[in-house]
């Protein structure tokens, strides 16, 4: 990854584009960040709510809840995961910004999906929640100084994660799950 130089758009500082993942050791981080190589992470993050709405428009309750294969998540489970992850990010960002260096607890996504009954979630409510929290984050990013982008938390599994790194990672996470939803929709169309 490049040195810590941020791009400026007007008076706003924006996170760098990921240019390489070669030096990243954590397999999950490497895979997720590979989704945003050369992309503007803020643009990706800003487009996700509309893409979610567009992709899920017109799908029946049964289609939303049908997993593509045994042990895989359905569309509603993926959307609910995205909403919950945005809430997790809300906490992590605030800890990093207000108390740089704070520990950041890991999340077991499968326990959340089961324990919070993701398969029973309401699509509109989850997309609305995701959209509202995402809008707040995008507004916050526009106010950050270069120093704030470098503040960080200590993720219990992945180690030091700066605010900039979190933004890049969550943009890659969005792309990963949008691609999963698109794949499920293609499978649904083939079965017609």
* Backbone region of residue 147 per phi and psi (left: phi > 0; alpha: psi in -120 to 50; beta: other values): alpha
Q: What's the CATH number where 42 sits?
A: 1.20.120.450
Give the DSSP per-residue string, 114-146. Answer: HHTTGGG--HHHHHHHHHHHHHHHHHHHTT--H
What is the rounded distance in angstroms from the CA atom of residue 85 to the CA atom of residue 81? 6
Residue 55 lies in a domain: yes
Q: Where are the alpha helices (DSSP H) in 21-74?
A: 27-34, 41-56, 61-65
Domain-located, residue 1: no
Q: How many domains does the chain have?
A: 1
Angle, vertex CA 85, rays to CA 79 and CA 88, nearest 5: 155
- The H-or-E segment that residue 111 falls in is helix 109-115
Residue 51 lies in a domain: yes
Supply the pLDDT for residue 139. Answer: 96
The pTM (predicted TM-score) of the whole model is 0.91
Evaluate whether residue 92 is within a structural domain: yes
CB 115 within 8 A of CB 127: no
Closest CA to 146 of 15, 2, 39: 15
Domain of 163 in residue numbering reads as 7-190
2: in domain? no
Angle between helices 75-98 and 163-190 in degrees, nearest 10: 180
What tokens were used for 147? 């120093």
Q: Is position 174 within any domain? A: yes
Q: Could you read off the pLDDT tens digit of each residue along the chain, which spans 192 residues?
A: 433 444 554 445 678 889 888 888 889 999 999 999 999 999 999 999 999 999 999 999 999 999 999 999 999 999 999 999 999 999 999 999 999 999 999 999 999 999 999 999 999 999 999 999 999 999 999 999 999 999 999 999 999 999 999 999 999 999 999 999 999 999 998 876
Please give the Cα distance from 136 to 133 (Å, whole number): 5
């Amino acid at each position: 990854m490049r040195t810590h130089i941020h791009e400026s758009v007007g008076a706003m500082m924006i996170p760098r584009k990921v240019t390489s993942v070669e030096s990243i050791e954590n397999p999950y981080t490497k895979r997720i960040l590979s989704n945003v190589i050369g992309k503007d992470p803020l643009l990706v993050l800003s487009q996700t709510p509309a893409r979610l709405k567009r992709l899920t428009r017109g799908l029946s309750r049964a289609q939303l809840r049908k997993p593509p294969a045994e042990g895989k998540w359905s569309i509603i489970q993926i959307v609910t995961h995205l909403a919950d992850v945005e809430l997790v990010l809300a906490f992590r960002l605030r800890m990093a910004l207000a108390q740089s260096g704070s520990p950041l607890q890991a999340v077991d996504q499968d326990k959340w999906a089961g324990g919070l009954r993701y398969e029973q979630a309401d699509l509109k409510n989850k997309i609305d929640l995701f959209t509202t929290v995402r809008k707040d984050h995008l507004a916050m990013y526009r106010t950050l100084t270069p120093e704030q982008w470098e503040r960080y938390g200590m993720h219990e599994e992945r180690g030091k994660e700066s605010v900039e790194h979190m933004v890049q990672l969550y943009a890659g996470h969005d792309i990963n799950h949008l691609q999963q939803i698109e794949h499920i929709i293609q499978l649904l169309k083939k079965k017609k």
